[in-house]
Amino acid sequence: MPILPTGDLEIVAQFGPHLSHQGPAGLDTGVKIDRLVQTHCCFCGQQCGIQLKVKDNAVVGFEPWYDVPFNRGKLCPKGVKRYLQGSHPDRLLHAYERDPAAPGGFGAVPYEQAIGRVAAEIDRIQSQYGPNAFALLSGASLTNEKAYLMGKFAHRCLKTSNIDYNGRLCMVSAAAGNKKAFGVDRAANPWADILGTEVVWISGANVAECAPITTDYVWQARESGAKIIVVDPRLTPIARTCDLFLPVKPGRDVALFNGILHLMIEHDWLDHEFIARHTVGFEAVAEHVEPWTPQRTAKVTGIAEATIRQAAEWWGTARTSFLMHARGIEHHSHGVQNVLGAINMVLASGRIGREHCGYATITGQGNGQGGREHGQKCDQLPGGRDLANPDHRAYVAGVWDMAPEDLPAPGVDAYEIFRKIDKGEIRGLLSICFNPLVSLPDNNFIRQTLEKLEFFATIDFFLSETAHHADIVLPGSLHEEDEGTVTTTEGRVIKINKAVDCPGEARQDWRIIQDIARTMGREQGFTFTQPREIFDELRRASKGGICDYAGITYEKIEAHYGVFWPCPDADHPGTPRLFEAGSWNAVAKGAGPFYFPDGKARFNVAPYTPPTEEVDGDYPVILTTGRVVSQFLSGTQTRRIGPLVDQYPEPRLEIHPQLAGQLDIADGDWVTAESRRGTCTLRAQVVRTIRPDTVFIPYHWGGRKSANQLTIAAQDPISKIPEYKVCAVRVSKATAPPAYVRELEPQQ
Ligand SMILES: Nc1nc2c(c(=O)[nH]1)N[C@H]1C(S)=C(S)[C@@H](COP(=O)(O)OP(=O)(O)OC[C@H]3O[C@@H](n4cnc5c(=O)[nH]c(N)nc54)[C@H](O)[C@@H]3O)O[C@H]1N2
Ligand SMILES: Nc1nc2c(c(=O)[nH]1)N[C@H]1C(S)=C(S)[C@@H](COP(=O)(O)OP(=O)(O)OC[C@H]3O[C@@H](n4cnc5c(=O)[nH]c(N)nc54)[C@H](O)[C@@H]3O)O[C@H]1N2
Ligand code: SF4
Ligand SMILES: [Mo]
């Protein structure tokens, strides 16, 4: 009988594989391969092109793919080592059922039996407690085809309101802000517009570690004379090469944006013609930023007044610019206000929608963009349509061959799903491509909640921390085992190609979902035989919506290395620059290029409010959390890739020497960080690159190493994004290493 890997998940990566036909630096060792498959990286939203080397149905290495215009063959450490995960001994090759008597707590069961149990439990829970008592969690690492299918599975097959996705933890503040200001949610410009721009403004984005290929664009701009401005509480690698660094106190970005706009108005660094022709609402915002003097801005943000003035001058007087932000300004209980503050600054400058005049949020997961467009968000239907809008419901119901009134109402966000489980309103859960036990804030609550479920099933290719709490684990597919499309950070739809077959009993994710529908006797609408058929239906379902994919085909993508949406018909070339004069949207409406009936963008008053949890005498230090270059998200994949583990084996608490000195902490000491919700003991990394009032912990580990034991479950009221970037902690030197380290020490 196949034995489930039982290794302690905290140390499991120690046996990361080195089973490759490729030398450590990715150099060819002369082994003959069967074929090269052109595809894209499985990790972040940059979606770099890569060629996978395949031998004997295994990915054994890679070669750069120089033709892809976005990355021109360049890759980051994760892209280079990604091929090592497929042959990891932990790969799930069978379905598993929870069995306390079996080693590791799970026993392998035949695939059909596992599907039968999932189908029966959904049926039972829905008939006993109603359709909404069964919830789905999905992910933005899934292809557009799978994301679309998950939305359809929830709304058409299970008729539950309760589906949401892990992008809720990621880009929803940017999405909500963009919708409010522009009526659409996508990067306004392709990355090519970064090259040749005069000022690049980066707020809350650790570009060099989290969007490494974007660094190359920023540096190329700098080579041609661009000034780089970085706003971050940490002097990140990109900040170390910038022209002006604004070490903002976590949670204060909207105050900074308001302060910059104040100075733009004071010095008349405004594009009056653009404001008059293409926007509404400037006066109210101007009035709102009036009290945001440089003195007050400096006091609130912790940035020197002279630095604020310098940033405003460079930004205000530039002729071209590109503003980018990421989770650093978005992971807040006022994340949407931060985003709106940034957009106000862009609109006032008039520098958007033209060559070298750009604005974008940097997306996160591989399909961070497409994953939020086609119906797996709790209030959404495909094409960026709205589940609460009667016209949108009628259109999609038509494509799905069902009555609009049979579509459920909008549901609740991912965290609220757990609150509803806690209250007993949700009794069953199926999760795919989501590891909430590591990634949600205050995860001690999540652990208790998972155990309250009457039935929990998960689809993954590794036994994630969350999967340990499942009743059934279904073996899904790795990126290289399926084909489909993904939409990159630029809004470019690209094609993922299959390199190898699923091993053992593992199945492509979309087949698993359809197998459940079929076993429930509800196969109508779930009889696709290949991803291309799902994509063709997605194209129809998105037609006429904001995210219009109707004119995109697999062939067109392959011929052009990707197609930017909207692409409304077969002859349309796609839309790299979203708000260009004469764009499809502007021409279709006979108005301006923004996605409102009058074609104008909206200024939005963006008030400053402090973070939910301020520091105080008991918890005097700000904790902020995020990422390191060699680990990815909840770490299920990268903690199993030996060379990446070697690069950053365990979480460390970054602390400034000044604070470390006060607390008698030296580099490498064990320290305990404690919040109102939990504690975490880890080693200190004493660095001069962080504000002295702030500590930083990367969140890629589970169990006792998880930063999310400490974080707060406060959420933005509009986007429902959690406040990962600020909570209050106390830090002290630990009296002993954490228990898991002591357990590993040799016994005397
Ligand atoms: N190596 C790696 N790359 C990744 C990922 C990964 O896990 N690992 N994940 C992908 C995903 S899903 C995402 S969402 C992106 C995330 O990409 P980023 O958003 O760039 O990464 P984070 O580390 O979450 O946070 C970015 C920065 O915000 C700063 N910050 C913290 N608080 C504040 C604040 O209040 N204001 C400002 N201005 N800055 C603040 C942090 O110091 C950090 O440097 O990366 C993607 N790429
Ligand atoms: N403290 C703190 N917490 C954070 C953040 C932070 O900055 N600080 N960042 C947040 C952000 S931005 C994000 S995006 C979330 C991410 O949080 P999660 O979405 O929970 O993280 P992932 O590691 O992507 O989890 C995905 C799971 O799905 C599996 N998986 C990946 N691809 C596929 C696939 O194609 N098919 C199937 N079946 N399974 C797949 C992986 O093995 C993994 O177990 O974390 C959030 N949590
Ligand atoms: S930048 Fe992102 S997509 Fe490109 S190789 Fe690195 S992880 Fe993969
Ligand atoms: Mo993310």
List the structure tokens of 507: 């199945």
Any atom of ligand 2 within 6 Å of the Cβ of 711? yes
Ligand nearest to the CA of 205: 1
Q: What is the mean pLDDT of the chain?
A: 94
DSSP string across 693-745: TEEEEE----GGG-GGGT----B-TTT--B-TT-EEEEEEE-SS--HHHHHHS
Q: Which residues contact 243 (CB under 8 A, 6 or more apart)?
A: 222, 227, 228, 229, 314
DSSP string across 46-76: T--EEEEEEETTEEEEEEE-TT-TTTTT---
CB distance 158 to 388 below 8 Å = no
**Nearest-CA neighbor of 370 among 186, 557, 525, 526?**
186
What does the pLDDT average to over 436-443?
A: 98
CB distance 443 to 708 below 8 Å = yes
Residue 23 CA to ligand 4 center (angstroms) comes to 31
Can you tell me the distance from the alpha carbon of 569 to that of 687, in angstroms, rounded to the nearest whole number? Answer: 53
**Nearest-CA neighbor of 578 among 190, 176, 172?**
190
Q: Is residue 189 part of a domain?
A: yes
Please, how many CA atoms are within 13 Å of residue 194, restricted to the half-sphere of its CB? 25
User: Positive or negative, the Cα torsion across 382, 384, 388, 390?
Assistant: negative
Residue 166 CA to ligand 2 center (angstroms) comes to 7
User: Positive or negative, the Cα torsion across 335, 341, 342, 344?
Assistant: positive
pLDDT band at 20 (very low <50, low <70, confident <90, very high): very low
Residue 559 CA to ligand 4 center (angstroms) comes to 30
Any atom of ligand 2 within 6 Å of the Cβ of 435? yes
pLDDT digits (tens, 9 = 90+) for 531-558: 999 999 999 999 999 999 999 999 999 9
Can you tell me the distance from the alpha carbon of 435 to that of 24, in angstroms, rounded to the nearest whole number? Answer: 30
DSSP secondary structure letter of residue 682: E
pLDDT digits (tens, 9 = 90+) for 694-706: 999 999 999 999 9
Query: In 142-281, which residue ranges form alpha helices assigned H by DSSP?
Result: 144-152, 172-182, 207-210, 212-223, 253-266, 272-278
Residue 414 CA to ligand 4 center (angstroms) comes to 14
Q: Answer left, alpha or beta for residue 744, where phi above 0 means left and psi between -120 and 50 means alpha.
A: alpha
Can you tell me the distance from the alpha carbon of 689 to that of 657, in angstroms, rounded to the nearest whole number? Answer: 10
Q: Is residue 319 part of a domain?
A: yes
CA-derived radius of gyration, the chain: 25
Q: Domain containing 323: what range?
A: 181-361
In the prediction, which pLDDT does 22 show? 41
- C-alpha angle 582/586/592, rounded to 5°? 100
Of ligand 3's listed atoms, the one at least distance from the Cα of 40 is 3
Q: 552-569 as b/e, with b when 16 or more CB fall inside 10 Å? A: bbbebbeeebbbbbbbbe
Residue 593 CA to ligand 2 center (angstroms) comes to 35
Residue 467 CA to ligand 2 center (angstroms) comes to 13
Q: Is residue 274 part of a domain?
A: yes
What does the pLDDT average to over 234-253?
A: 98
Q: Which residues contact 58 (CB under 8 A, 6 or more apart)?
A: 86, 87, 500
List the structure tokens of 111: 């695939």
How many other CB atoms sit within 10 Å of the CB of residue 704? 16
**Nearest-CA neighbor of 134 among 156, 152, 159, 114?**
159
Q: Is residue 353 part of a domain?
A: yes
Any atom of ligand 2 within 6 Å of the Cβ of 466? no
Can you tell me the distance from the alpha carbon of 203 to that of 693, in angstroms, rounded to the nearest whole number? Answer: 19
Residue whose CA is closest, atom 33 of ligand 1? 328
pLDDT digits (tens, 9 = 90+) for 575-632: 999 999 777 667 666 778 999 999 999 999 999 999 999 999 999 999 999 999 999 9
DSSP string across 286-354: HHHHTT--HHHHHHHH---HHHHHHHHHHHHH-SSEEEEE-HHHHSSTTHHHHHHHHHHHHHHHT--SB
What is the tally of helices (H) and strands (E) in the chain?
Answer: 24, 28
Please say which residue of 361, 376, 406 terminates a domain. Answer: 361
The answer on pLDDT for 3 being more than 60 is: no
> Backbone phi, then psi, for 570, in 5-degree steps?
-60, -30
Can you tell me the distance from the alpha carbon of 748 to that of 738, in angstroms, rounded to the nearest whole number? Answer: 18
Residue 368 CA to ligand 4 center (angstroms) comes to 7
Can you tell me the distance from the alpha carbon of 624 to that of 656, in angstroms, rounded to the nearest whole number? Answer: 13
The answer on pLDDT for 509 being more than 80 is: yes
In the prediction, which pLDDT does 25 show? 42
pLDDT digits (tens, 9 = 90+) for 79-110: 998 888 888 889 999 999 999 999 889 999 99
Any atom of ligand 2 within 6 Å of the Cβ of 361? no
Residue whose CA is closest, atom 24 of ligand 1? 626
> Backbone phi, then psi, for 731, in 5-degree steps?
-125, 135
The answer on pLDDT for 680 being more than 90 is: yes
Query: Over pLDDT 90: what percentage of the chain?
Result: 90
The answer on pLDDT for 721 being more than 60 is: yes
Question: In the chain, what is the straight-line distance between the N-terminal and C-terminal CA atoms, in Å?
Answer: 36
Can you tell me the distance from the alpha carbon of 131 to that of 159, in angstroms, rounded to the nearest whole number? Answer: 6
pLDDT band at 736 (very low <50, low <70, confident <90, very high): confident
Ligand nearest to the CA of 722: 2
Residue whose CA is closest, atom 3 of ligand 3? 47
What single-letter amino acid sits at 39?
Answer: T
pLDDT band at 27 (very low <50, low <70, confident <90, very high): very low
pLDDT digits (tens, 9 = 90+) for 110-122: 999 999 999 999 9
Residue whose CA is closest, atom 29 of ligand 2? 433
What single-letter amino acid sits at 406?
Answer: D
**Is 86 in a helix, a strand, or coil?**
coil
The answer on pLDDT for 402 being more than 90 is: yes
- C-alpha angle 49/54/57, rounded to 5°? 130
In the prediction, which pLDDT does 18 show? 35
List the structure tokens of 219: 């540096």
pTM over 0.85: yes
Residue whose CA is closest, atom 4 of ligand 3? 48
What single-letter amino acid sits at 119?
Answer: A
Q: Could you tell me the CATH number of the domain that includes residue 735?
A: 2.40.40.20
Please say which residue of 344, 361, 378 terminates a domain. Answer: 361
Any atom of ligand 1 within 6 Å of the Cβ of 475? no
Any atom of ligand 1 within 6 Å of the Cβ of 233? yes
Can you tell me the distance from the alpha carbon of 593 to that of 612, in angstroms, rounded to the nearest whole number? Answer: 37
User: Positive or negative, the Cα torsion across 567, 572, 578, 584?
Assistant: negative
pLDDT digits (tens, 9 = 90+) for 141-167: 999 999 999 999 999 999 999 999 999
Ligand nearest to the CA of 622: 1
Q: Could you tell me the CATH number of the domain that includes residue 300?
A: 3.40.228.10
Can you tell me the distance from the alpha carbon of 430 to that of 136, in angstroms, rounded to the nearest whole number? Answer: 5
Can you tell me the distance from the alpha carbon of 740 to that of 16, in angstroms, rounded to the nearest whole number? Answer: 19
Can you tell me the distance from the alpha carbon of 172 to that of 376, in angstroms, rounded to the nearest whole number? Answer: 13
pLDDT digits (tens, 9 = 90+) for 367-393: 999 999 999 999 999 999 999 999 999
Can you tell me the distance from the alpha carbon of 303 to that of 263, in angstroms, rounded to the nearest whole number? Answer: 15
Q: Count of residues for the chain?
A: 748
pLDDT band at 304 (very low <50, low <70, confident <90, very high): very high
Of ligand 1's listed atoms, the one at least distance from the Cα of 203 is 38
Q: Is residue 667 part of a domain?
A: yes
Give the lowest-confidence range in 124-133, 289-298, 518-527, 637-646.
Answer: 637-646
The structural domain count of the chain equals 2
Any atom of ligand 2 within 6 Å of the Cβ of 209? no
Please, how many CA atoms are within 13 Å of residue 337, restricted to the half-sphere of its CB? 22
Pocket test for ligand 2, best of 633, 636, 638, 720 (most atoms within 8 A of CB): 633
Any atom of ligand 2 within 6 Å of the Cβ of 707? yes
Residue whose CA is closest, atom 17 of ligand 1? 210
Residue 512 CA to ligand 1 center (angstroms) comes to 33
Please say which residue of 306, 333, 361 terminates a domain. Answer: 361
Residue 228 CA to ligand 1 center (angstroms) comes to 18
How many other CB atoms sit within 10 Å of the CB of residue 478? 23
**Nearest-CA neighbor of 328 among 371, 364, 300?**
364
